[in-house]
Structure 1
Amino acid sequence: MRLSAVDLNCDMGEAFGRWTIADADDARIMALVSSANIAAGFHAGDPMLMNETVRLAAQHGVGVGAHPGYRDLQGFGRRKIAGSNEEILNDVIYQVGAVREFARCHGVNLQHVKPHGALYMEMAVNEDLSRGFIDFMRRTSPDAYVFCLESSLTCRIAREMGQPVVREFYADREYDRSGSIVFARRVGRLDPERTAEKVVRACHEGKVRTVDGDDIDVPFESICFHSDTPGCVEIGSAIRDALTANGIRIAPVSEIVASPAKSSRSAI
């Protein structure tokens, strides 16, 4: 595996009212990425912020994605919330609909959906929940991508049901031997250059070093970093510079993944 082009995505719009994340700067981050995962109101985000974040994405030609999470503002969506699969899926539908309508207002399509935090991790191992989520996507957004890990049930079920999939590589998270990320509610400050080196190695060799010291294969089409990681702008800039320096182009998902999905740059 040696990639010549990748998508670069970031979780964005993750504030609420007057409360913001210290290092997050959506305007600067938007200039670095090709896909934006926009908080949909339950773990972060509010209508004013969703509108502004979608507007920024449309202005920069960045793919708009809904980033639904558990109803957990206090825990930033990184705590598992008990509920039936029906309750959780209806929360997801509600959030995706919100971002989709703001996208329509700004003349762009919903490019993708990426569950957030603890919900992303739960879908990765919960077959019934993943199947319900993909069934919703097939019925309402058959051309939109689902962002997930290669090792997840979400990925397997999406492929089985015919939903376009984008597999992610996490620049600012650690991996275990199963190919899953090591879940963390808080992440300390990382060295941007070392993070960028990790990304370039993954692009060139398709491998990452786990917390146990092993190398594992990590197939992916998109690289993710988080706006709540301290120093996120510096991390994103270092990744983008390193990719460019190594001849790896940052491109929209629609140019990388073969599927019928439409680019978010196309008007509805």
Structure 2
Amino acid sequence: MTTVEPRPVGALLREWRQRRRLSQLQLSIDADISTRHLSFVETGRSKPTKEMILRLSEHLDVPLRERNQLLLAGGYAPAYPASGLDAPELGAVRAALRQVLAGHEPHPALVVDRAWRLVDSNASIRLFLEEVAPDLLEPPVNVLRLSLHPRGMAPNIANLGEWRAHILGRLRRQAAATADPELAELLAELRDYPCDQPEPEVELPGASDVVVPLRFRHRGRELAFLSMTAVFGTPLDVTVAELAIESFFPADQTTVDTLRDRTGEPSS
């Protein structure tokens, strides 16, 4: 068996500083510590206190899950709980999510975790799923895989090249910001999916564009959606910090009319 030695907290902090493209001087000013002290912490010549690790993590915008890992590397207990979403203490969070999802009807909305796994959704999300292969809907459902997979939503996305470039760019930035290997693996998988449309290397908006729309073919109509992401403000639980609500809004009158008409359809 091969034993992997735990990495020292100073080296991990240095990696996060470099990932954020900050110099030691910039971080020391932001965190109100001396550059000499920060250098000693990063090289292991000085053992940081728990408070110092948390202060540097805050200024480096380290995700809560990784802050706990930094604390463990420094010899301290994790500071942030990671409750299951079904835990009693997260009852108010569950209620808030359900209220947002229900209140967004008849427009599609869903909740995802850090790895883009589906946590919950409202009934209107079914509009996107009518022609999706059943195996892609087996839990855990990854919504990015569902969106770009050739047996998922991709065949019905009219602007697949543009939407794919938008999704991959967003995931690439998220993977770089979090250093999450699961996101890096997902990015590599999605890049291998076929696409028969040109993919812009950069998102170049048209004269009247403000965001990248999702143009989706549904029962002979082309619907247009704008998406918006919402997260909980100042969460202190890892699970809550990693949740995001993805809401879709109609971008034209055809989509408004279609969503309005669907409210009269029987539930499946």
TM-score range, shorter chain: under 0.3
**TM-score (normalised: structure 1):** 0.27
Bigger strand share:
1
**TM-score (normalised: structure 2):** 0.27
Bigger helix share:
2
Report which structure shows greater RCO (CA 8 Å, sep ≥6): 1
